[in-house]
Amino acid sequence: MKKIIKVKGLTIGEGAPKICVPMIGKTLKELKLEAEYIQKLHVDLVEWRVDFFEKVEKIEKVKQALSEIRSILHSTPIIFTFRSKREGGEKEINNGYYMELNKVVAETSLSDFIDIELFNEEQDIKKLIDTAHSNGVFVILSNHDFEKTPPKEEIISRLCKAQELDGDISKIAVMPNHPGDVITLLEAANTMNEKYADRPFITISMGDYGKISRFGGFGSAISFGVATNSSAPGQISVEELRKVLEILYK
């Protein structure tokens, strides 16, 4: 039986994909306005893309901002994500600070998840996972390719690797260069779901070609929609995403 994740009344890993929206404000003021707006929407999770935050290199400012966001979105699960430049993020920081930032945030327990990129040193990943779990925080182990779609076997291999490292959710997002790439991603998701997954996973094909992948149906547990501004190409508005998912999973 596959594991499921229960957080703040939300169950991830069964039923329809859960809807997550990004927060990409550059200032604390912008982030608070985003949070207040999102609170009025029908969403399941929020991802704070902290790489957009202008004071991301000051840990105390990050903690303060996260505390403010939590006070507004008190009952909504929050994913804390610094997306590196190499995987499509807004800013580059050194690896030591990346690890320290995620460690400190995990220790606050203000976010429900931290997103850690799979292509880091295994020993660093394992330390972060241990810290997160000891503070009641779940870990998403992710990989993003903004240039291409790897072969089906490679997609499955990366998702399985994230499981082996004990990430609570495995995630991969890839860029299709033609419609066949979307089929590759969906086939990988279906095979992962049927043969290998022992916990929730997320698969995304980005861009216009990949929009169909955001409606689930092949095992992916979370879909990312847009509340105010998108954080990746091909994201769909929350309202449209919710309508389609309700039709598919009615």
Whether 231 maps to a domain, the answer reads yes
- Which of 171, 195, 211, 250 is catalytic? The answer is 171
Whether 27 maps to a domain, the answer reads yes
Residues in the annotated binding site for 3-dehydroquinate = 47-49, 83, 214, 231, 235
Whether 239 maps to a domain, the answer reads yes
Number of domains in the chain: 1
Query: Which positions ≥6 away from 74 have C-beta within 8 Å?
Result: none
Does the annotation count 144 as an active-site position? yes
Per-residue HEC secondary structure of the chain comes to CCCCEEECCEEECCCCCEEEEEECCCCHHHHHHHHHHHHCCCCCEEEEEHHHCCCCCCHHHHHHHHHHHHHHCCCCCEEEECCCHHHCCCCCCCHHHHHHHHHHHHHHCCCCEEEEECCCCHHHHHHHHHHHHHCCCEEEEEEEECCCCCCHHHHHHHHHHHHHCCCCEEEEEECCCCHHHHHHHHHHHHHHHHHHCCCCEEEEECCCHHHHHHHCCCCCCEEEEECCCCCCCCCEEHHHHHHHHHHHCC
- Which of 85, 126, 133, 144 is catalytic? The answer is 144
- Identify the residue with better confidence: 104 or 229: 104
Give percent of the chain with pLDDT exceeding 90. 84
Whether 77 maps to a domain, the answer reads yes
In CATH, what number is assigned to the domain containing residue 181?
3.20.20.70
Q: What is the pLDDT of residue 180?
A: 97
Whether 90 maps to a domain, the answer reads yes
Whether 7 maps to a domain, the answer reads no
User: What confidence tier does 232 reach under pLDDT thresholds 50, 70, 90?
Assistant: low
Whether 49 maps to a domain, the answer reads yes
Calculate mean pLDDT across residues 70-83.
Answer: 97
Domain of 171 in residue numbering reads as 15-244
Whether 1 maps to a domain, the answer reads no
User: What confidence tier does 227 reach under pLDDT thresholds 50, 70, 90?
Assistant: confident
